[in-house]
Structure 1
Amino acid sequence: MSHQAHGDARFGLGEPRGPDFLPAPPAPAWPQGGDPFRVPAPPAPWTRQDDPGGPGGSGPNRRGPGRAVVVAVVAGLLAGGAAGAAAGRLTGDRAAAAPIARSTAGPVNGGAGDLSDVAARVQPSVVSVEIRSARSRGTGSGFVIDRGGHVLTNAHVVEGAGEVTVVLADRRRLGARVVGADPANDLAVLAIPAGDSPPPLTFGRSADVRVGDPVLALGSPLGLQGTVTSGIVSALSREVSLGDSGRRSALQTDASINPGNSGGPLVNARGEVVGVNTAIARGQVGGIGFAIPADRAVDGAQRLIR
């Protein structure tokens, strides 16, 4: 992947600073004719010590102390490949525009409770995104955002893609095209036939999200479609480096996020999307994931669709 950064985990005690992060490893490329839902053993060690930009190296990507907080993208799906689509670049004709639903219900009140009903409602609208190019194959996640057949995912998921397939929760496979990609915000919109599209998810509002809110992360980590993990919102407006944009604010969560979760939704206890899962912290830390806030995701998706 082109979005790589390296460094040991450090925690400042004076001026507030986050840890430096190491990249998540690439998701394994499935063998020709293999089962994309079979989980191969992860490479060992998980973070290569012989990487010239890694903890023991001295390569050009080596990050020293005092640098800005750096986050590596979750999926690392495409090993190599051409550069990602330019911001807002279109591929083919657009699907018909349709409104993206926004919640007006306000903050979520009360504890986590039983989230099984929430997961059951949301899962049909979450998809697996399979990418094939001349050089690699990979899997990410996405979700339906309107009734026009638009699917939101991360720009790094479709970077360099030659062929994109969306796999629905019922295992139907649909050809998809990239409507547009915005690497600066790490967002991309895909289009599938509206008649075959599951119902869209509703977005929450960033102003209604609070630290401690229960959340679910849904997607296809390591190709395991339909995976749901739970946690809470750990921090709001965490300043990290995402995509090609430099420093951006993100939601922090302790819901388990792994390679392949990229582009999947982070939803609250009402099933509203509060973030788009996009990155994880690596190194001497765990249980730290990051999501693009709902308001920025909606604005970015609408720009790409228009």
Structure 2
Amino acid sequence: MTTAPTGLGEPRGPRFVPAPRATAPPPPPGTPYHSPPQGGDRQRRWPRLLGAGLLVAAVSASTGALAGRAAAPDGTGEVSLPRAELAPDDSGGLVGVAERARAGVVSISAPRGGGVAGGSGFVLDDRTHILTNDHIVSGADSVSITGSDGRRVSAEVVGRDPRTDIAVLRVEPSSALRPLPLGRSGNVQVGERVLAVGSPLGLAGTVTSGIVSAVERDVRLGGTSQTAVQTDASINPGNSGGPLVNARGEVIGVNTAIATYDGGGSIGIGFAIPVDRAADVAERLIAGR
């Protein structure tokens, strides 16, 4: 059976065929049959086992506390254990990267036909051009963006390219909207750490982390077969159009689609349009070509 994973709106990700379930071989002829234990008996055992586990944990914790008091050198019964200090770069600098990226990411609202499509985008330059996915703004009656400062403003659609699923918006310049630096697709490596920033399910400024799972993955985006960056960073509806950034804070892709089963959320298979392709299309749209 083939299941079609859903994307962040259209387009959808590639098709996946689940592996067949392994089945135990039949017993040889003459083997006596033993009926499996009944569910009720199994259910009765679990509370006991769980209770025993909790009891062991509680006893262990109590024992440790008593040992600590007994070992206190000053006779007060209290022990002060050494605490590790988190160095600024212990997280790989991702805290600072996330803070800078969030300042350049916007939430997008694009009502159409009585409903409202939502997504994400990020600032490209000092003229406040915003890159996003075409499927977010296609057919919209109007478009507005909300920046990290919570201010909502109207946006102009500068240009759209349905084939690559890239669109460019523009808003009035604001000190709250900072351009994000662009990386190079050729420098992206499998295994490097990345952050996905956007507004999944309308939760603005959400940051998730993961790695690059694959590069030049063949998928169907924008109605055409293209290559994409695959990541296991959690991506869900609303992340579409937001940036995938590396540990240096450079945008390496535009989050566009996810693979799911039965219409669910992220299963750790997300796809981003490579930054070189997205930037080339954006430059062409801004130039009016």
TM-score where L is the length of structure 1: 0.64
Q: Name the counterpart of 1:4.
A: none
Q: Give the Å deviation of 1:25.
A: 7.7
Q: Distance in 2 between matches of 1:180 and 1:265?
A: 19
Is 1:205 matched with 2:184?
yes
**Number of residues of Structure 1 aligned to a counterpart in Structure 2:** 210
Please tell me whether the aligned partners of residues 253 and 290 of structure 1 are also in contact (alpha carbons under 8 angstroms): yes
Q: Give the Å deviation of 1:243.
A: 1.1
Q: What aligned pairs does 1:214-253 form with structure 2 within 5 A after superposition?
A: 214-244=193-223, 246-253=224-231
Q: What aligned pairs does 1:156-195 form with structure 2 within 5 A after superposition?
A: 156-195=135-174
Q: Name the counterpart of 2:235.
A: 257
Q: Distance in 1 between matches of 2:199 and 2:230?
A: 19
Larger Rg: 2
Q: Give the Å deviation of 1:22.
A: 2.1
Q: Name the counterpart of 2:247.
A: 269
Q: Name the counterpart of 2:6.
A: 23
TM-score where L is the length of structure 2: 0.68
Q: Distance in 2 between matches of 1:144 and 1:274?
A: 14
Name which of 2, 21, 40 aligns with 1:8. Answer: 2
Percent identity of paired positions between Structure 1 and Structure 2: 54
Q: Comparing both structures, which one devotes a greater share of its residues to helix?
A: 2
Q: What aligned pairs does 1:117-196 form with structure 2 within 5 A after superposition?
A: 117-195=96-174
Q: Distance in 2 between matches of 1:218 and 1:170?
A: 15
Q: Name the counterpart of 1:91.
A: none
Please tell me whether the aligned partners of residues 125 and 199 of structure 1 are also in contact (alpha carbons under 8 angstroms): yes
- Runs (5+) with no aligned partner, structure 1: 1-6, 10-20, 27-67, 72-109
Quickly say closer, same or farther: Cα 1:146–1:223, change in 2 above 3 A: same
SS in structure 2 at match of 1:291: strand
Q: Name the counterpart of 1:57.
A: none
Q: Give the Å deviation of 1:290.
A: 0.1
SS in structure 2 at match of 1:292: strand
Q: Give the Å deviation of 1:134.
A: 3.5
Please tell me whether the aligned partners of residues 150 and 189 of structure 1 are also in contact (alpha carbons under 8 angstroms): yes
Q: Give the Å deviation of 1:286.
A: 1.9
Q: Give the Å deviation of 1:139.
A: 1.3
Give structure 1 regions of 4+ aligned residues with deviation exceeding 6 angstroms: none
SS in structure 2 at match of 1:299: helix
The one-letter code of the counterpart of 1:263 is G
- Runs (5+) with no aligned partner, structure 2: 17-88
Cα deviation 1:47-76 (Å, max 9, x = unaligned): xxxxxxxxxxxxxxxxxxxxx9459xxxxx
